[in-house]
C-alpha cells in the first residue's frame, strides 16, 4: 500500500451552502423577504414574532412562519395565534436548522403569495451561525434578562447578524440590565448591525422594527426588478 | 453541539472523494479551522470517529490547522490579527471599520489515502 495525498480544498458545509443558494434564488424569484431569527433559548423569539406577525397582518402584509424546535409544537401553536400560516420543523435533537430541512418544509407552499417569511431557528447562540438558510436577513435577539456580555461570548453569531434586536425592554430596570454596556458590546462585535429595542409585552419598538423590515423588503424588491433592465 | 453534524458532513465529503479515487482507506484528514468558525475543536475530535464509523475514514487521523482571525483595518490601511475574545475592533487604533480576511474557515484541505492495488499480485 502506498499512501497518496488528495487535495480537496472543499468547505465542509458546502452542501448546506449550495442548498441555501438555491433557496435564496427561489425566495428572490418569489419576491418573499425571509428573516432568520436566532437567539439563546428563552430570549423571546416566539413572543417577538407573534406580535410582529399580528401587527403585519393588520396592515395586510402576507406573512408566514417556519419554526424549528428540538421537540414539541408549543411555539408553532403560539405563533398560529397571530393568524398567520405556520409550519413546524421538529429537528428531533438537532440543535440548529439546516437549509435542507427548510427546503423540505417549504414543499407545497406558494411562496409568491407571501411578502414575508420568518424562520424561527432553534434556541442556540452557537450552532445556527454556521448554517445559511438562504435568508435575506439574519436577526439575533438579545434579551435584557441575559447578560449584556452575550455578544462577546458568542462573536460568530453576532458577527453574522444583520440586525440585533434587544427584547424584553420592559424588564430592563428589574434586571439591572446594563443598556450602555450591551450596546457597546453589540457595536464592538457587530458594528454593521442595525439595532432595535423592543418589548413584545408593551409593544415598545415593534412598529419601528416592522418599518425597518418593510423598508428592506422594498429595497430588495426594487433591486430585483431593476437588475434585469441594466 | 453541532460538531456531530459537521463531522458527518466532513466524513461524507471525505468518503465521496476517497471512493472516487478508488481508495480503500483514508489515513489522514487535513482540516482548516478558523478561530471564528464557531466550532469547538474538542467536540469535533470527539465526533469525528463516531461519524467515520463504517466508512473508509474509520481510524483516520484528524489533523486540524487553526486559522487565526485576520482583518484589514481601513483606518490604519493595514492588516491586523485579532486575538480572543475577538472584539471586532482594530487592536492598534480601535476603529471598527474592519474587513474580515480570514478566520471563518471550515474546510477540508486534503486527505491521505491508501489505494486499492495489490503490489504482490503484479510484481
Domains of chain B: 1-67+104-118 (3.30.2320.50), 69-102 (no CATH)
Distance CA B91, CA A185 (A): 15
Interface of A with B in 14-33 (CB under 8 A): 14-16
CA distance B16 to chain A (A): 11
Tell me whether residues B9 and A1 touch, CB distance under 8 A. Answer: no
Tell me whether residues B21 and A157 touch, CB distance under 8 A. Answer: no
| 3-state SS assignment for residue A52 | helix
> Would you say A139 and A35 are in contact if contact means Cβ atoms under 8 Å apart?
yes
Confidence (pLDDT) at A69:
84
Please report the beta strands in chain B, taking only residues with DSSP state E, as ranges in sequence order.
Answer: 23-34, 61-67, 69-73, 78-82, 98-102, 106-115
Confidence (pLDDT) at A2:
72
**Closest CB to B110 among A2, A6, A153:** A6
- A157 to chain B, any CB pair closer than 8 A? The answer is yes
> Which pLDDT tens digits describe chain A residue by residue (230 residues)?
678 999 999 999 999 999 999 999 999 999 999 999 999 999 999 999 999 999 999 999 999 999 998 878 888 999 999 899 999 998 887 889 999 999 999 998 999 999 999 999 999 998 898 899 999 999 999 999 998 999 988 888 998 999 999 999 999 999 999 999 999 999 988 888 999 999 999 999 999 999 999 999 999 888 877 765 43
A–B: how many Cβ contacts below 8 A? 110
Tell me whether residues A155 and B9 touch, CB distance under 8 A. Answer: no
Considering only CB atoms, which chain B residues are within 8 Å of A191? 88, 96-98
* Residues in a beta bridge with B82: B69
CA-nearest residue to B111 within chain A is: A6
C-alpha cell at A12: 465542509
Tell me whether residues A130 and B9 touch, CB distance under 8 A. Answer: no
Tell me whether residues A5 and B114 touch, CB distance under 8 A. Answer: no
Tell me whether residues A8 and B13 touch, CB distance under 8 A. Answer: yes
Considering only CB atoms, which chain A residues are within 8 Å of B1? 95, 127
Confidence (pLDDT) at B118:
56
CA-nearest residue to A9 within chain B is: B109
Considering only CB atoms, which chain A residues are within 8 Å of B37? 130, 156
Tell me whether residues A15 and B10 touch, CB distance under 8 A. Answer: no
Confidence (pLDDT) at A228:
55
Confidence (pLDDT) at B123:
41
Query: Residue A79: which of A45, A104, A38 has the closest Cα?
Result: A45
pLDDT tens digits, one per residue of B68-79: 999 999 999 999
Tell me whether residues B88 and A191 touch, CB distance under 8 A. Answer: yes
| 3-state SS assignment for residue B89 | coil
Confidence (pLDDT) at A222:
85
Which residues in chain B land under pLDDT 70? 1, 116-123
- A184 to chain B, any CB pair closer than 8 A? The answer is no
| Grid-cell match 448591525, residue found | A193
| 3-state SS assignment for residue B119 | coil
Which of A6, A96, A127, A133 to mutate to test binding with chain B, by most B CBs within 10 Å of its CB?
A6
Q: Cα–Cα distances in Å, from B27 out to A13, B14, B120?
A: 22, 11, 21
The number of helix segments (H) and strand segments (E) in chain B equals 2, 6
Which of A12, A20, A98, A127 to mutate to test binding with chain B, by most B CBs within 10 Å of its CB?
A12
Amino acid at each position: 500500500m502506498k499512501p497518496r495525498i488528495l487535495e480537496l480544498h472543499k468547505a465542509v458545509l458546502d452542501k448546506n451552502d449550495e442548498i441555501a443558494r438555491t433557496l435564496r434564488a427561489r425566495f428572490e424569484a418569489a419576491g418573499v423577504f425571509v428573516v432568520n431569527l436566532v437567539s439563546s433559548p428563552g430570549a423571546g423569539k416566539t413572543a417577538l414574532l407573534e406580535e410582529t406577525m399580528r401587527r403585519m397582518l393588520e396592515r395586510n402584509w402576507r406573512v408566514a412562519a417556519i419554526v424549528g424546535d428540538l421537540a414539541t409544537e408549543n411555539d408553532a401553536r403560539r405563533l398560529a395565534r397571530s393568524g398567520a400560516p405556520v409550519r413546524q420543523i421538529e429537528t428531533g435533537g438537532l440543535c440548529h436548522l439546516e437549509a435542507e430541512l427548510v427546503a423540505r418544509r417549504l414543499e407545497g407552499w406558494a411562496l409568491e403569495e407571501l411578502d414575508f417569511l420568518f424562520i424561527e431557528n432553534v434556541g442556540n447562540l452557537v450552532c445556527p451561525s454556521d448554517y445559511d438558510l438562504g435568508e435575506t436577513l439574519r436577526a439575533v435577539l438579545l434579551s435584557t434578562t441575559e447578560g449584556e456580555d452575550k455578544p462577546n461570548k458568542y462573536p460568530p453569531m453576532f458577527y453574522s447578524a444583520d440586525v440585533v434586536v434587544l427584547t424584553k425592554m420592559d424588564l430592563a430596570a428589574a434586571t439591572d440590565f446594563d443598556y450602555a454596556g450591551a450596546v457597546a458590546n453589540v457595536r464592538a462585535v457587530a458594528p454593521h448591525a442595525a439595532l432595535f429595542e423592543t418589548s413584545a409585552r408593551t409593544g415598545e419598538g415593534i412598529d419601528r422594527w416592522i418599518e425597518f423590515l418593510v423598508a428592506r423588503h422594498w429595497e430588495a424588491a426594487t433591486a430585483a426588478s431593476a437588475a434585469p433592465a441594466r | 453541539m453541532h460538531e456531530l453534524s459537521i463531522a458527518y458532513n466532513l466524513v461524507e465529503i471525505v468518503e465521496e472523494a476517497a471512493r472516487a479515487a478508488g481508495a480503500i482507506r483514508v489515513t489522514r484528514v487535513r482540516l482548516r479551522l478558523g478561530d471564528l468558525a464557531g466550532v469547538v475543536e474538542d467536540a469535533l475530535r470527539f465526533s469525528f470517529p463516531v461519524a467515520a464509523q463504517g466508512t473508509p475514514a474509520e481510524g483516520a487521523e484528524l489533523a486540524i490547522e487553526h486559522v487565526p482571525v485576520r482583518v484589514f483595518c481601513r483606518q490604519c490601511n493595514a492588516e491586523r490579527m485579532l486575538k480572543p475574545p475577538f472584539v471586532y475592533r482594530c487592536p492598534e487604533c480601535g476603529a471598527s471599520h474592519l474587513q474580515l480576511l480570514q478566520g471563518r474557515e471550515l474546510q477540508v484541505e486534503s486527505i491521505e489515502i491508501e489505494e486499492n492495488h495489490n503490489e504482490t499480485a503484479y510484481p
